[in-house]
Amino acid sequence: MLYRRLGRTDLQVSAISLGTMTWGEQNTEAEAHAQLDLAVAAGVTLIDAAEMYPVPPKAETQGLTERYLGSWLAKPGNRARVVVATKAAGPVRQAHQPKHVRGGTTSLDRANLTAALDASLKRLQTDHVDLYQLHWPDRSTNTFGRLAYPWIEDASTVPIEETLGVLADFISAGKVRAIGVSNETPWGLSRFVSAADTRKLPRIASIQNPYSLLNRTYEIGLAEFAHREQIGLLAYSPLAFGVLSGKYRGGARPPGSRLALYERFARYSNAQAQRASERYVALAAERGLDPSQLALAYVLAKPFTTSVIIGATTIPQLRINLASIDVRLDDALVAAIEAIHTDQPNPAP
């Protein structure tokens, strides 16, 4: 395993993180614990959860993911072995965003963030979170697959400076060690950086955004922030909901797979994404590589990537994904990847 510094903090995290959003929906508590045991044995230290999980978000399952992680953390010695990350849900501004979390009042203000953090700590059975993240912005913007800026004037939003001040108090109280954002834009990230610098507030250490062979929009505006402000990318959906694993080739929908179970996960399965995926999977086969490992190794090698968040519903899948840490892509293979990208750039943003 490789380890990298999280932003400008003193935290070192594994280059591969374990994602958890299937726990409580597609995975049982025992299966979640088995995944944790395997990942930690392989050197994974960063575990990423959210108060909203599992997905698809439902009132009857909300919080189960953190509970499953919490019961594992409560076992002797486990808490000290990992860096625990979780996320506070943002306000409901799009139809797909959950209305049941904290009664639907999920603005990023003091009352709501305090309630969110305290509930997460209780479910996680710990007195602090190592990385506390804002799951999405407290404003209408182009997130979760929306490419065009929506041009919506929100009735109200919590100023970034106010939110950052609340997070600063969490750090002072010892409940949080570092803070991060997720599904954020260049404008939003610039405001967090500016507020930290001008108001002597804590700096954002990380940004958790989508990044994969099918969605490299992060490179366009956010990658420069990662470089110049030392804000690390925690890349989510590096396999594009499993599309880049090759298991959905030719329109296949294996029983029990995410795309077979849930129609809402269509972000990476449009026609152009399918065509690009076929080419990436074929390229992996030509080079004798597992397609998942090709896709993960590409993201791992990017200089702005701090950690790649992998998720799996089965132990064999998890073993394949973990082994990507040992895969190196030579110049010729990277050139072939870039050729596909040039021909079909960002088919599933």
pLDDT band at 303 (very low <50, low <70, confident <90, very high): very high
Q: What is the pLDDT of residues 15-30, one digit of tens each?
A: 999 999 999 999 999 9
- 95, pLDDT greater than 70: no
Residue 208 β-bridge partners: 182, 234
**Do the Cβ atoms of 290 and 284 come closer than 8 Å?**
yes
The 8-class DSSP code of residue 23 comes to B
d(C-alpha 31, C-alpha 34), whole Å: 5
d(C-alpha 29, C-alpha 88), whole Å: 22
Q: What is the pLDDT of residue 103?
A: 84
pLDDT greater at residue 226 or residue 290: 290
Q: What is the pLDDT of residue 255?
A: 80
**Token output for 289:** 């590589």
Work out the angle between the directed axes of helices 29-41 and 64-73 (0-180°, nearest 10).
50
d(C-alpha 117, C-alpha 270), whole Å: 36
pLDDT band at 93 (very low <50, low <70, confident <90, very high): confident
How many Å from the N-terminal Cα to the C-terminal Cα in the chain?
A: 29
Q: What is the pLDDT of residue 262?
A: 76
- 260, pLDDT greater than 90: no
Long-range contact set of residues 142-150: C-beta below 8 Å, sequence gap at least 24? 142/185, 143/183, 143/185, 144/94, 144/96, 144/183, 144/267, 145/267, 145/348, 145/349, 146/94, 147/217, 147/349
Q: What is the mean pLDDT of residues 288-310?
A: 98
Q: What is the mean pLDDT of the chain?
A: 94
Domains observed in the chain: 3-240+302-328 (3.20.20.100)
pLDDT greater at residue 260 or residue 218: 218
- 85, pLDDT greater than 80: yes
- 243, pLDDT greater than 70: yes
- 163, pLDDT greater than 90: yes
Q: What is the pLDDT of residues 46-84, one digit of tens each?
A: 999 999 999 999 999 999 999 999 999 999 999 999 999
pLDDT greater at residue 265 or residue 50: 50
Q: Considering 53, 68, 211, 236, which one is annotated as catalytic?
A: 53
Q: What is the pLDDT of residue 130?
A: 98
Q: What is the pLDDT of residues 102-145, one digit of tens each?
A: 888 899 999 999 999 999 999 999 999 999 999 999 999 988 88
Report the share of the chain in percent with pLDDT over 90. Answer: 85
Listed range (34-38, 83-87, 100-104) with the worst mean pLDDT? 100-104
- 173, pLDDT greater than 80: yes
pLDDT band at 211 (very low <50, low <70, confident <90, very high): very high
Q: What is the mean pLDDT of residues 93-102?
A: 82
132 is catalytic: no
| pTM confidence score | 0.96
